[in-house]
């Protein structure tokens, strides 16, 4: 895949799932990245409760984890973001999209964050995560 094809894959995925393909974003504390956002937050996979920091099992989606072809996936939070900028990073994100789509039907769903107190100000009551319904 070339850079133009990778951008098209990422934009198609964003359009289909009503998310934003952010090709000049930041994650964590100002780390450059590309990824998928809904609202102010990057879309998660395998989300955790923002109060207990335990995985929310009913929204766990192991098939959405980044494959080996995405070595620069953001590693401090399970979100669909790849560290860096430019064509090489966008190609990693596109490879991640293709990996998820090979597993089954991908959807983006809302989940309750469980956040309370000051954390609620940062994350809100609901965020978004990837779910994959495996192909039979």
Per-domain boundaries in the chain: 3-134
Q: Is 134 helix (H, G, I), strand (E, B) or coil?
A: strand
Residues facing residue 31 across a β-bridge: 27
Please give the Cα distance from 31 to 9 (Å, whole number): 23
Q: Is the pLDDT of residue 107 over 70?
A: yes
Which pTM value belongs to this model? 0.89
Closest-CA residue to 17 (of 78, 107, 82):
107
Q: Going by DSSP bridges, is the β-strand pair 81-83/126-134 parallel, antiparallel, or unpaired? A: unpaired
Write out the H or E segment, with its range, that includes residue 31. Answer: strand 31-38
**Per-residue pLDDT reduced to its tens digit, 16-46:** 999 999 999 988 788 999 999 998 889 999 8
**Per-residue pLDDT reduced to its tens digit, 111-124:** 887 766 666 566 66
How many residues are listed for the chain in this entry?
136
């Amino acid at each position: 895949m070339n850079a133009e094809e990778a951008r098209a894959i990422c934009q198609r995925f964003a359009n289909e799932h009503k998310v934003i393909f952010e090709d000049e974003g930041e994650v964590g504390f100002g780390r450059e990245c590309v990824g998928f956002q809904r609202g102010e937050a990057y879309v998660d996979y395998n989300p955790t409760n923002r109060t207990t920091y335990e995985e929310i099992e009913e929204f766990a989606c192991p098939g959405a984890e980044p494959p080996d072809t995405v070595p620069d996936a953001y590693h401090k939070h399970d979100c669909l973001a790849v560290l860096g900028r430019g064509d090489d990073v966008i190609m990693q994100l596109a490879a991640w999209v293709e990996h998820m789509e090979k597993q089954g039907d991908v959807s983006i769903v809302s989940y309750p964050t469980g956040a309370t107190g000051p954390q609620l100000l940062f994350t809100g009551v609901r965020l978004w995560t990837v779910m994959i319904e495996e192909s039979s």
